[in-house]
Amino acid sequence: MTNSLNDMRHAQSMIFIGSNAAEAHPVSMQHILHAKEVNNAPVIVVDPRFTKLAAKADEFVRIRPGTDCIFVMGLINEIIQKGWEDKEFIRSRVAGFPEMAASCSQYTPEEVENVTGIPAVQTRKVAKILATNRPTSLTWCMGGTQHHIGSSITRAFCILQLVLGNMGKSGGGTNIFRGHDNVQGATDMCVLSHTLPGYYGLKDGSWKHWCRVWDVEYDYIASRFKEKKWMNAKGFTLSRWYEGVLGEEKIEQYTPIKAMIQWGCGSNSNSQYNRVVKAYNKLDLFVIIDPFPTMAAATCTSDNVYLLPCSSQYETSGSVTSTSRQIQWRHKIVDPINGCRDDYTIMQDLVERLGFADKFYKNIKEVPEDITREINRGTLTIGYNGQTPERIKKHMENWHTFDIDTLQAKGGPCNGDYYGMPWPCWTEEHPGTPILYDVSKPVSKGGLPFRNRFGIEHTYEMSGRTENQLAADGVYNPGSEVKGGYPEFKDVVPGTNWKTDLSQKTLKEALRRGMAPFGNARARCVVWTFPDQIPIHREPLHSPRPDLISKYPTYEDKPNHFRVFTRFKSEQSPELAKSFPFVLTTGRMVEHMGGGAETRSNKYLAELQPEMYAEVNPKTGNDLGVRDGDMIWIESPEGGKVKVKAFFTERVDEHTIFMPYHFGGVLMGESLSGNYPAGHEPYVSGEPANVCTNYGYDIVTQIQATKDGLCKISRA
């Protein structure tokens, strides 16, 4: 999030795209409803389904799944055509605007209607609401990301906020709600396959930086790889690791994956889950570390699986990072029970037994405090420097001194700090950064410009125009020595830059001069390193509109995409919709979480939501000869199928089927209850919806496309 949940209270309008906060992020609703009721801020909800959040909306926009990009670029076009864009913000802080404006001009309200199903008059209405009620807070979640053009969709959201001048302002920003506790922190610390912690990437310089942090010889790290090239190569992603086991797709690795550890992983969140199960049973070794036996454990029929019971969050302590970039300390409430061990103990034991402790654990004496201190030392890129264990604990002990509207402490031991010291927090004296890219405050007081990462100037290939990438003269944080744009800081300590100077002298020198260590630049509308430099619409791989495929085709197939061949063009068939006529989308429900292993093992939650189901429009059901409450088969083009109860509702239109993805314990009609350890099967079992989510992966991130596949339905 560029802002915070609390800061949404200051919004003058709010738009949610692929986000159902009322069920997926219910805590946020107190702030959303505050803005709606106190500010009279209109709420716009864009979703294929009439959600509980949509019930609170002033404007509900029903969109065809997978067409978010053209809708948002169409909004941008309408805003530009009407002259509603923030011209001064664009002139001084945005790059590539003319090229972007030319590209999106093709997306008229009428063309948006043709592709998305949203009436042209409604696109014009939403554009006017946003233009006349600023600042706008824009929120998206997995409904915006889990498409094969998810990276373009989310970039379009950001460009909309730039065009309206809503970035770096209280009540504005792009506010992406993370799904679980510490998802933001886990991402920052690199549960990713293509980067070291802190988004450093995998280049030699990045490895050398972390070797210095860990106090490990670079040559030792390099020696752990079969060949040097693998040290710098992206790994398999969570969405497609199983391809490295099955061997059914061409992989770029010298050996198949033979062993796997899943640690706190709701595996039934994986698309094409029946293929994932096939991979589980082909592994030589499969280790599951979780407080509960998971769906993955129950699917293993070969003698290759080991369950290591770990403690819950109430039985351990340590720092976590919330969706608002705030660092909090989780205190242990009770000791682990029944032989469970906390994550730190399990990790230490594994490191010792594998022979790495002398290299990687020698600096960890006080657990978990020393782990947080190592993060403070190494993660300079996003400013984890100042959130020491002592400061985090002090915030938790004095939370009552922080203002609910500003998140800043009024007096007390944390006076002037922002709650949780949201990153970047550059030093142990820095208060944290409550709103990213806010040039109204000094950098030392939590202000920031846009980051300079892409050079001083760039020539756009589509126009031939050369543009300075630094902010215009007159755009700077109060107190800055340079009264305009400037590049990132480097060579304060020879041979280092602000990201690699472990002495942190570079950071402190930048702050002394009132400047941001990463420079003062423009935000880009054109990303020349991406397949689509400017976001454009491309039809879903499995499109229900074959007539649009030739006009809005997908990409060419991509070899070695995170080590596995990925189909795009060869997967997009105009014939598929004839056999699979319905669009399948998935989402959350408030009673369950993730893969559901914990929540479906809770008696109270099991009573509230005891059954898996599929939402079906009554007309669709009647046309199929299905009654409300009947058991039905839902099948995917890949051969996955689930047996679920039909729930008739007009939340979905007659072309769309919705299923929640929290269920497990049944696989393609067969109960797995006997596969759980005796007495440990969940109270609620049901088919995993992701058995039926289709093939499809984002062209940049390879995130799975679970929101816009196709399916067919029959009576069970």
498-534 pLDDT, tens per residue? 999 999 999 999 999 999 999 999 999 999 999 999 9
Q: What is the pLDDT of residue 301?
A: 86
Q: Which residues contact 464 (CB under 8 A, 6 or more apart)?
A: none
Q: What is the pLDDT of residue 609?
A: 96
Local confidence band at 219 (pLDDT 50, 70, 90 cut-offs): very high
Give the Å distances, CA to CA, from 237 to 43, 250, 320. 35, 15, 23
449 pLDDT higher than 90: yes
623 pLDDT higher than 90: yes
214 pLDDT higher than 90: yes
Q: What is the pLDDT of residue 506?
A: 97
| Residue linked to tokens 């169409």 | 74
210 pLDDT higher than 90: yes
190 pLDDT higher than 90: no
Q: What is the pLDDT of residue 289?
A: 96
Local confidence band at 334 (pLDDT 50, 70, 90 cut-offs): very high
CA–CA separation, 314 and 331 (whole Å): 7
Q: What is the CATH number of domain 573-715?
A: 2.40.40.20
Q: What is the DSSP letter of 192?
A: S
What's the average model confidence in pLDDT over 323-344?
A: 94
Q: What is the pLDDT of residue 381?
A: 97
Beta bridge partners of 712: 635
Tokens of 108: 């008229």
What's the average model confidence in pLDDT over 276-299?
A: 95
Local confidence band at 267 (pLDDT 50, 70, 90 cut-offs): confident
370-425 pLDDT, tens per residue? 999 999 999 999 999 999 999 999 999 999 999 999 999 999 999 999 999 999 99
Q: DSSP E strands: which ranges in 295-341?
A: 305-309, 318-321, 327-330
Give the Å distances, CA to CA, from 304 to 64, 310, 391. 43, 19, 44
179 pLDDT higher than 90: no
What's the average model confidence in pLDDT over 423-430?
A: 98
Question: Containing H/E element for 566?
Answer: strand 564-566
Q: What is the pLDDT of residue 191?
A: 85
Q: What is the pLDDT of residue 577?
A: 98
Label residue 442 exposed, middle or buried (CB < 10 Å: 0-12, 13-18, 19+).
middle
Look over the chain and give the mean of its residue pLDDT values, rounded to a whole number.
97
Measured on CA atoms in the order 323, 329, 334, 340, is the torsion positive or negative?
Answer: positive
What's the average model confidence in pLDDT over 218-232?
A: 96
What's the average model confidence in pLDDT over 28-35?
A: 98
Local confidence band at 363 (pLDDT 50, 70, 90 cut-offs): very high
What's the average model confidence in pLDDT over 61-68?
A: 98
CATH superfamily ID and name for 6-163: Dimethylsulfoxide Reductase, domain 2 (3.40.228.10)
Q: What is the DSSP letter of 497?
A: B
Ordered by start, the domain boundaries in the chain are 6-163, 573-715
Q: What is the DSSP string of 675-698?
A: GSPTT-S-S--B--GGGSPPS-B-
CA–CA separation, 417 and 406 (whole Å): 10
Closest CA to 20 of 54, 61, 48: 54
Contact by Cβ (8 Å): 246, 281: no
CA–CA separation, 465 and 475 (whole Å): 22
Q: What is the pLDDT of residue 340?
A: 93
142 pLDDT higher than 90: yes
- Using DSSP bridges, classify how beta strands 523-524 and 94-95 pair: parallel, antiparallel or unpaired: parallel
The one-letter code for the residue type at 326 is: Q
Q: What is the pLDDT of residue 622?
A: 98
| Residue linked to tokens 């196709």 | 710
Q: What is the pLDDT of residue 87?
A: 98
466-502 pLDDT, tens per residue? 999 999 999 999 999 999 999 999 999 999 999 999 9
Closest CA to 267 of 690, 682, 576: 690
Share of the chain above pLDDT 70, in %: 100
Tokens of 311: 């403690």
Q: Which residues contact 641 (CB under 8 A, 6 or more apart)?
A: 633, 634, 635, 668, 669, 691, 692
Give the Å distances, CA to CA, from 626 to 579, 646, 709, 713. 18, 8, 22, 9
What's the average model confidence in pLDDT over 314-326?
A: 96
302 pLDDT higher than 90: no
638-677 pLDDT, tens per residue? 999 999 999 999 999 999 999 999 999 999 999 999 999 9
Side-chain half-sphere CA neighbours of 449 within 13 A: 37
- Reduced to 3 states, what is the DSSP secondary structure of residue 248? coil
533-566 pLDDT, tens per residue? 999 999 999 999 999 999 999 999 999 999 999 9
Considering only CA atoms, give the Rg of the chain. Answer: 25
Q: What is the pLDDT of residue 181?
A: 81
